[in-house]
Amino acid sequence: MSTVKWVISAAPEIFLLLSVALGTILGRVRIFGFSIGTTACTLIVAVLIGQLGTFTFPSLLRVILFSLFVFTIGYRSGPEFFASLSIRTLAQVALALVLGGTGLVIVLVFANVFALGPGTASGLAAGALTQSSVIGTASGALAQLGLAKDVLEQQEANIAAGYAVTYVLGYILTLLFVPFVAPKLMQIDLKTEAAKLEAELSGGNPPQTENLHYRKFQARAYRVSAAAGRTVGAVEDEIGSRSVIERIVRQGADVEPHRETVLEANDDIVIAGRTAAIVAAKPIVGTEIDADEILKALPGNVVDVLVDNRKLHGRSVKDVAERVGDAARGVFLRTLTRMGREVPLSSDTRVYVGDVMTLVGSTRNIERAAARVGQILRSEDRTDVAFLTAGIAVGLLAGLASIKIGSVPLTLGGGGGALIAGLFCGWLRSRRPTMGAMPPAAQQTLSDLGLGGFIAAIGLGNGHAAWVAIQSHGMLLVGMGLVVTLVPLVVTTLFAHRVLRMNPVIICGALAGAMTVDAAVTGACEVAESQTPVLGVAVPYAVGNVVLTVLGPIIVASTFAN
């Protein structure tokens, strides 16, 4: 044991990294198809390891780790958050605000009735509302109050205790509520409503969940005979299925294939589009030829494009195609992905900023269309470290500002400032794609490492006090956590269904998004036997991340007098 204590005093960072590693491994374990996540597991492991001795970490380390996490969350949510400030998504924004506001009111009521300190109240909110970032913003706000060291440490231990007890409960309750309880409250069958929504989106046709016909996109070469004397546009319209004449070779020279271009006999042309359509083009155009050379000069591609054009936010696929106009010529939408999940695709499917369109077509056509939609996601992009660090620095500086409510300073703290900076930088990146690159893989790494390291530092540094607080107030915290999780979900469900008149399937996805519980979306999709709940996730998720995160300083300021 003396060796362990020596290692703790000499290199506590070993145990911090070990806590992150063990928490991540345990967080991957699935029980009945679901896992409770790495964050809760990391904190529990850290609190248990914290019983081995006294761990001390410099506050600078925790600030940097949490800032990396919360800045990345803001960067990822920025385009969606600012785009959500739109009349087309107002109902989904209202849903997220009602959920966060209801949760805040209940936490403050409990804090007043049971004389909870700011640490316990913040931990209760962080766990029961399943928003880990509240821990960091609350800790930052506490650090601004000028508390004695032992008092500050006890409050931080109370945050860890409140979170550890209520997070798992809040997570499980949300998983069960969204797919099972919410439909009962709305008196609907989720599977039936999902089928109705699919039919509505597809105009009565089966939804294109697999989009196999897009995967059969290809190009073929023909020698013009039947189409001689006709314009390119007329031939394309007759072939249909948005097929396009990509290349015209006339007597060895290329001719620009504008829609007004008139085809001549013996022109060699390349037609691109769905296989079924272009194979049937022979009687319309002429004889198919084996022309490898002109086909090789027409590179095909499958490219992921991040939607960041705010003018397209909340519009249907059909509207997007019309707004893109001629730039969409020869480009096919293969899949639409939202928060890593494929969205049922039809002409009426809504597109939101932050969605990823997988486009199929020739390289030049895709690049032309992508410029009107958003930015191409390139795997070779490297993180712009200068942009990242400067953004966080500005955010931390903004977090120093405070206003006083009575004698209590209300401040966003470093975490809140970094979140706001992340939102702005993410939005700025969407407006100017040439600056501030941070590929999705880098975002995930910074987010996971930042939050995992911060949570581990909290658990290790306050392990003993947190364990004592859990033993003293565990059952009370469980009871309060039950209410703080369920009441906002019930109120928000009824408000969205009866007041906002939102589609019940969209409500289920929006509830999962507002609580930032990705697995609840999966549960709703499984019960619905459809991907339609995904349609409601994006906007509430972006708004929920921001609204719930800023609850930390508000709770600290409101409960400090207790």
Among 158, 71, 97, residue whose Cα is nearest residue 556: 158
CA dihedral 532, 536, 537, 541 (to 10 degrees): 180
What are the pLDDT digits (tens) for 356-388?
888 877 777 788 888 888 888 776 567 888 988
pLDDT at 214: 41
Neighbours of 453 (CB within 10 A): 24
- In whole angstroms, give the CA distance from residue 330 to residue 345: 19
Do 323 and 450 lie in a common domain?
Answer: no
Final residue belonging to a domain, choices 245, 264, 297: 297
Strands (E), 431-524: none
Final residue belonging to a domain, choices 297, 323, 343: 297
pLDDT at 380: 57
Task: Indicate the average pLDDT of the chain.
Answer: 83
Residue 373 within any structural domain of the chain: no
- In whole angstroms, give the CA distance from residue 558 to residue 552: 10
Among 381, 341, 357, residue whose Cα is nearest residue 306: 357
Q: What is the mean pLDDT of residues 442-458?
A: 88
Residues 6+ apart with CB under 8 A from 199: none
pLDDT at 208: 47
Q: What is the mean pLDDT of residues 198-202?
A: 74
pLDDT at 211: 41
The total number of structural domains in the chain stands at 3
Q: What is the mean pLDDT of residues 530-559?
A: 87
pLDDT at 501: 93
Residue type, 138: A
pLDDT at 497: 95
Residue 211 within any structural domain of the chain: no
pLDDT at 131 over 70: yes
Do 81 and 173 lie in a common domain?
Answer: yes
What are the pLDDT digits (tens) for 454-479?
888 888 888 778 888 787 777 888 99
Residue 378 within any structural domain of the chain: no
Do 183 and 286 lie in a common domain?
Answer: no
pLDDT at 491: 97
Residue 98 within any structural domain of the chain: yes
Do 552 and 425 lie in a common domain?
Answer: yes
In this prediction the pTM is 0.74
What are the pLDDT digits (tens) for 202-260?
655 544 444 434 444 567 788 888 888 888 888 888 887 777 777 788 887 888 788 88
CB of 172 closer than 8 Å to CB of 519 = no
Residue 483 within any structural domain of the chain: yes
Rounded to 5°, the CA angle 21-467-172 comes to: 65
Q: Classify the C-alpha dihedral 112-113-115-119 as positive or negative.
A: negative
Do 174 and 122 lie in a common domain?
Answer: yes
pLDDT at 33: 65
Tell me the sheet residues that pair with 274. 217
- Identify the band that residue 536 occupies on the pLDDT scale cut at 50, 70 and 90: confident
Read off the CATH number of the domain in which 326 is found.
3.30.70.1450
pLDDT at 79: 77
What are the pLDDT digits (tens) for 68-94?
988 998 888 887 777 766 777 889 999
- In whole angstroms, give the CA distance from residue 59 to residue 68: 14
What are the pLDDT digits (tens) for 31-50?
766 677 788 888 889 888 98
Q: Three-class SS string for 388-429?
A: HHHHHHHHHHHHCCEEEECCEEEECHHHHHHHHHHHHHHHHH
Do 242 and 118 lie in a common domain?
Answer: no
pLDDT at 9: 84
Do 277 and 350 lie in a common domain?
Answer: no
pLDDT at 502: 93
Neighbours of 391 (CB within 10 A): 25
pLDDT at 286 over 70: yes
Residue 512 within any structural domain of the chain: yes
What are the pLDDT digits (tens) for 142-166?
888 878 888 888 888 899 888 988 9
Q: Which two tokens stand for residue 174?
A: 């949300």
Report H helices in 177-231.
182-185, 190-201, 212-215
Do 36 and 110 lie in a common domain?
Answer: yes
3-state class of 303 per DSSP? strand
What are the pLDDT digits (tens) for 5-22?
888 888 889 999 999 999
pLDDT at 126: 93
Percent of the chain whose predicted confidence (pLDDT) is above 70: 90
User: Which range marks the domain in which residue 68 is found?
Assistant: 1-199+384-561
Lowest mean pLDDT among 160-174, 427-441, 525-539, 546-560: 427-441
Residue type, 554: I
CB of 41 closer than 8 Å to CB of 26 = yes
Do 138 and 235 lie in a common domain?
Answer: no
Residue 429 within any structural domain of the chain: yes
Residue type, 257: P
Do 506 and 418 lie in a common domain?
Answer: yes
pLDDT at 526: 87
pLDDT at 123: 92
Q: What is the mean pLDDT of residues 543-547?
A: 88
Cα 88 to chain centroid distance, Å, stands at 19
pLDDT at 111 over 70: yes
pLDDT at 122: 93
Do 340 and 398 lie in a common domain?
Answer: no
pLDDT at 2: 79
Residue 405 within any structural domain of the chain: yes
Among 334, 110, 311, 316, residue whose Cα is nearest residue 217: 334
Do 86 and 169 lie in a common domain?
Answer: yes
Residue type, 263: L
pLDDT at 465: 80
pLDDT at 212: 38
Maximum separation of any 2 CA atoms in the chain, in Å: 93
